[in-house]
């Protein structure tokens, strides 16, 4: 199924790339070039909006490229996967910290409490022109963390390119009590759900 389909990941995230490879998908990596901006303030809607914007940007560029090469401009056999992840805590959406001080502030907000991680996924099927857009949510329970530990963690640099200022698959795992939901969703892509959607469409490359 889907052996001739070009699967394109609209992200340069090493975590998303690795999750795709983990399930045998060697996706083409074509990062979106859009300036991300969501109209909604609700985390579930924000991630769906941004995921679709990313996938739309990349799909349009790939379709244009196919047209220039004379390869099925209107309905190329491509699948474009866009994703966006946010952390939601105490009614606040936490993106990537802009500074170490902001990273420390975010972790202080998370420590000793439960928060939610939302990942929106938008999948564009080029041959049908259809979209599948969904969101997955995972509850994350963080242990109490003292200020020295927060400072030491921030100094590692790990929080700086991650939503919510932490990576569950990295050093921050020491502070996770438990989760409820999909672990990979917290990493950055609910890869199981993505695979099921590709299988349902006959596009899973196995």
List the catalytic residue out of 74, 77, 84, 146: 84
- Given a contact cutoff of 8 angstroms between Cβ atoms, the answer to whether 159 and 123 are in contact is no
Residue 54 above 70 pLDDT? yes
Mean pLDDT calculated for residue range 118-133: 96
How far, in Å, CA of 136 to CA of 181, rounded?
A: 9
Sorting pLDDT into bands at 50, 70 and 90, what band is 165?
Answer: very high
pLDDT digits (tens, 9 = 90+) for 71-84: 555 678 999 999 99
Mean pLDDT calculated for residue range 117-134: 96
How far, in Å, CA of 9 to CA of 17, rounded?
A: 8
Mean pLDDT calculated for residue range 55-61: 95
**Domain residue spans in the chain?**
6-200
pLDDT of residue 21: 96
CA–centroid distance for 8 within its chain: 14
Q: Note the CATH number of domain 6-200.
A: 3.90.950.10
Active site residue 84: yes
């Amino acid at each position: 199924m889907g052996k001739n389909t070009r699967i394109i990941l609209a992200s340069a995230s090493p975590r998303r790339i690795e999750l795709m490879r983990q399930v045998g998908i060697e996706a083409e990596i074509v990062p979106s070039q859009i300036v991300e901006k969501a109209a909604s303030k609700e985390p579930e809607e924000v991630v769906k909006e941004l995921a679709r914007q990313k996938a739309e940007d990349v799909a349009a560029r790939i379709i244009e490229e196919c047209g220039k090469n004379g390869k099925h401009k209107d309905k190329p056999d491509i699948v474009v996967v866009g994703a966006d992840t946010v952390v939601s805590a105490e009614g606040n959406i936490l993106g990537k910290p802009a500074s170490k001080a902001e990273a420390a502030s975010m972790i202080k907000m998370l420590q000793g409490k439960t928060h939610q991680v939302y990942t929106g996924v938008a999948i564009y099927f080029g041959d049908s022109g259809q979209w599948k857009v969904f969101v997955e949510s995972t509850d994350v329970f963080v242990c109490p963390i003292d200020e020295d530990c927060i400072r030491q963690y921030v100094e590692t640099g790990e929080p700086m390119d991650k939503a919510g200022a932490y990576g569950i698959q990295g050093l921050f795992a020491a502070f996770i009590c438990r989760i409820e939901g999909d672990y990979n969703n917290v990493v950055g892509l609910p890869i199981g759900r993505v695979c099921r959607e590709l299988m349902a469409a006959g596009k899973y490359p196995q």
